[in-house]
Structure 1
Amino acid sequence: MPYAHPNDPEQLRTWLLGAARKDAQAFQALYLATSPRLFGFALRILPRHELAEEALQDAFVAIWHAAGRYEASGAAPMSWMTTVVRDKAFDILRRLDARPDVDVAQFEADILNGLEDKALDPALAARTSGEARTLAFCLATLEKTQRQAIALAYFHDISHAEVARQLALPIGTTRTWIRRGLATLKTCLAREAA
């Protein structure tokens, strides 16, 4: 299929009709032709690149499922798809506003208090306290969502599925943020230990 005219409304309508019939090639052509522009639109609404990616992915899933309800007599195809992306981006913004924030200073204090054990010898207690401060410092370098996900998963012993539910995120996004956050933590802890 040629992708030479991604802004041609007739071509976009044809691909949308194909997607309505669950034609994967038509949907792929639609995605390749429109995703860069729709991603740019999502970036204007959302504060971070990965959130715009999430909005775009959610939008294309919705477009795949709703393509049969698209009415050519209504909005132009690009306008209709832009509306879907906008709605998904606003959903993400609402979810971000509803999330609880993790207080890093309180988190650091909790770690330090939990590590204080009267049975520890002073040298071990001092080293452990320093390690806790380094961990808290490295956690503070993470993005808020990564920090929240890691804190819930590893310090509160909550499953990734439950973390996703509590943060109102897709499970795949949650796992990715935890994995990337742990990699960042590992690098930071190694740097601070050197």
Structure 2
Amino acid sequence: MTTETDATDSFNYELALRNCAGGDRQALQDIYRQESRHLLGVALRIVRQRQQAEDVVHDAFMNIWTKAGSFDAALGSGRGWIYSVTRNLALNAVRSGAREVSVDEETAQALDAQSSLDAHAQVADAFDLRVSLGRLNDCLSRLEPARRNCILYAYVDGCSHGEIAERTQTPLGTVKAWIKRGMGTLRECMA
């Protein structure tokens, strides 16, 4: 009797990826049969919506097919590479907020009416907004450039701490500390 673990251990992910890079569609089908349900579980845990998770897995297999040539066994296992492709796509889907919500006609009209009221209120608050933005700009300018950049990368560009560490060539722990302390300084300055 062959267990699932035995089948995973005997499957040669590196060879399958090399074959995908060479245009072998059967290799992609083999990877799909071997891992699709597990990858769906990974995507579902991240995006929390079945349809979106299925889309992520579809896109992951498209990337596996088109980017299999970029896999380097010296950097890690083939199975790990496949999972990282899926995980990264799922995280990107969450970051981009690619969620659509369907509403009925009555709700859409209510949302439009609320948007009109909000727009009117925003005109009244435009002066307050300009004052707040001016204070924020002043407070940001008081931070050290490296800390300010980390905060802007996180809150304006939407970068993760790891991405910021990569961009700034700074250790991850340092980036986290800079953001935490910088946000504390901004809160004090804005109060």
More helix by share: 2
- TM-score, structure 1 as length reference: 0.48
